[in-house]
Amino acid sequence: MTASGTTSQSFVLDSGIVSGTVTANTTGNPVISGATIETSDGAYSAITGSGGTYSITMPPGTYTLLARKSGYGSAYTSVTA
């Protein structure tokens, strides 16, 4: 079998970013560093930095995030990247 010509393929990797601040329900103050933020399937995650901030790069879509830290409990929220 022979073929002539050129085949070209292009790929574009789309990504979304979800970022925010984890706060305590009782005070509204940012949770100190070390809280875990992850998608409900565990595929994407981050650990909060100083001031309770986080950022996760993931494919565009809607996700359920779980935020948790020992001594603070846990919380779920729905986000769109």
SS (HEC) of 3-70: CCCCCCCCCCCCCEEEEEECECCCCCCECCCCCEEEECCCCCEEECCHHHEEEEEECCCEEEEEEEEC
Q: Is residue 27 part of a domain?
A: yes
Lowest mean pLDDT among 1-10, 48-57, 63-72: 1-10
Q: Is residue 6 part of a domain?
A: no
Note the pLDDT of residue 15.
82
End-to-end CA distance of the chain: 46
Q: Which domain holds residue 25?
A: 16-80
Q: What's the number of domains the chain is made of?
A: 1
Note the pLDDT of residue 32.
75
Has residue 11 got a pLDDT over 60? no
C-beta of residue 58 within 8 angstroms of C-beta of residue 39: yes
Q: Is residue 55 part of a domain?
A: yes
